[in-house]
Structure 1
Amino acid sequence: MTTIYQHFRSEEKGFIDQVLNWKEQVEQTYAPKLTDFLDPREQEILKVIIGKNTEVRCQLFGGYQGAERQRALVYPDYYIPEEEDYQLTLFEVDYPKKFIKIEHPQVLGSLMSLGLKRSKFGDLLFKEADIQMIVSSEIADYLSMQLESIGRASVKLKVLPLNDASSVSDQWQERVITATSLRLDTIVASIYNLSRQKAQTYIQSKLVKVNWSSLENPAFECREGDMISVRGQGRSKIIVIEGKTKKAKWKVVAGLQK
């Protein structure tokens, strides 16, 4: 079992141990285990550890096809998962749309201010002025009673069937960059056209996330598949690391979210 950690970064050990515990729990109880919402990196780790064609399996669902944050059901091989097993509630936010604009950080901030963990919320869906949120059903009643405002807007939550979730399609604009190293500060500077000093300031100010986790180490080494977000600058991902050029620079294909 010790060799499994070699396939992942050291900072992911805590989550790996959690997945192993879920697997052991299902093996011992022979009953399904439902997790909180997982980000895409956690989903990948889960799928690698649980594997395929074993006595314990896993399936993910976030309320609609293409959801970024999803709950996982870890279950014994006899079990057939149903949509209801994921215990998801879709809310629509009712607010005076003609007079007030609500943005993503305001919604997330208001949710977190209620003392609930981020893992209890799935995707926040924005389509023009319409706002929807997918949450764990166990907090739905509490949320509908407690969430009275977002920013300056008074709000009410209306439950909708999951089939009414707004479809959100991610569009990525690919670009090829070169960087002197795969250090986080260098990659951020290259992708977002920043000076390296500016990139370091963003990182040290906790404004940069890699794979949905804040990092303060400018020397962190990026890998293929990493998702990077810089507050105020948008999201990007490392699609392919093609190797070094003749001038010993790294050639990287990156995607920027439109």
Structure 2
Amino acid sequence: MDLYQHFRPEEQPFIDQVIDWRHQVERQYIPVISDFLNPREQLIFQSIIGQEDNLTLSFYGGYERAERKRAILAPFYETIEHEDYKLSILQGTYASKFVSLSHRDLLGTMMSLGLQRKKLGDLIVLDGEFQIICDQDLALYLKMNVEKIKNTRINLTEVDEHTVLNPDHHWQEKEGTVSSTRLDVMIKEIYQISRQKAQTFIEKEAVKVNHRIVNHSSYHLQSGDLISLKSYGRSKVVAILGETRKSKIRIKTAKLK
């Protein structure tokens, strides 16, 4: 199928799922709701559905700047409200005077319960409090089973979307040119380190793309990809802007400050 040529081989199962959802809505005229999608998956979903007049596609993750969002694909005449996404927002507090919790600590606790990442939205951690955005059906399970994080006792309560914590995320965008969209080349450009150092990080499995470890330098990045480099922070590929007259590739990237 020609559609697959525009995406990575490992993205084919998700593409098939999107196509199946489209056919389901077109046949049954009933909206479908996805699990939480990362920005790359959202971009794929949008590009496949495109501007189809008979369908409407929308995303929501609990607050305006959410990174991970659920999608609803519906007949064009449907009106989608926030409650249709079936999200729950759980808030927890802890004694920040005695312990420091990070996003990694919170995610590690969730994964230790055997949960799938796609059932969880953004995890927001600030001093003394945190929030978990999740599937509505998962909220009760979490309230019953998450009592400690990093040996610190916590209590989870459900709150509404108007009380979502506002993480102070500032993405600093930059445009530039690269010789290739290979992972080592892009990391060199984004983090301003040598290509050899970038390759060493990749080989040591210190690099994640879309939350998955990638350990080969020849992996090509695409628009919407999220990158995490251990000890250097997070970044993303905002857009691949095309080629210059000298056959360089113009890119727009952003780094989390």
What TM-score, normalized to structure 1?
0.88
- How far apart are the structure 1 equivalents of 2:189 and 2:60? 35
What RMSD, in angstroms, separates the aligned Cα atoms of the two structures?
2.4
- How far apart are the structure 2 equivalents of 1:75 and 1:242? 33
Cα deviations by residue, 1:152-202 (Å, 9 ceiling, x for unpaired): 211110111111101235322345666554321122133223333332232
126 and 176 in structure 1: CA distance in 2 versus 1, 3 angstrom threshold: same
Instruction: Give yes or no for the alignment of 1:210 onto 2:214.
Output: no
| 8 Å Cα contact 1:243-1:252 kept in structure 2 | no
Query: Higher mean Cα deviation, 24-33 or 4-13?
Result: 4-13
174 and 66 in structure 1: CA distance in 2 versus 1, 3 angstrom threshold: closer
- How far apart are the structure 2 equivalents of 1:33 and 1:253? 33
Instruction: Give yes or no for the alignment of 1:232 onto 2:211.
Output: no
Instruction: Give yes or no for the alignment of 1:28 onto 2:21.
Output: no
Percent of aligned pairs with the same amino acid: 40
- How far apart are the structure 2 equivalents of 1:51 and 1:74? 12
In the other structure, the counterpart of 1:113 is: 112
| 8 Å Cα contact 2:93-2:128 kept in structure 1 | no
In the other structure, the counterpart of 1:166 is: 165
Aligned residues: 256
CA shift, 1:101, in A, is: 1.0
Instruction: Give yes or no for the alignment of 1:149 onto 2:148.
Output: yes
Query: Higher mean Cα deviation, 80-89 or 203-212?
Result: 203-212
- How far apart are the structure 2 equivalents of 1:4 and 1:180? 26
CA shift, 1:221, in A, is: 2.5
- How far apart are the structure 2 equivalents of 1:174 and 1:36? 28
Instruction: Give yes or no for the alignment of 1:192 onto 2:201.
Output: no
In the other structure, the counterpart of 2:48 is: 49
166 and 175 in structure 1: CA distance in 2 versus 1, 3 angstrom threshold: same
CA shift, 1:254, in A, is: 3.5
Which SS does the other structure have where 1:189 is aligned? helix
In the other structure, the counterpart of 2:100 is: 101
- How far apart are the structure 1 equivalents of 2:197 and 2:129? 35
Name stretches of at least 5 consecutive residues in structure 1 with no aligned partner: none
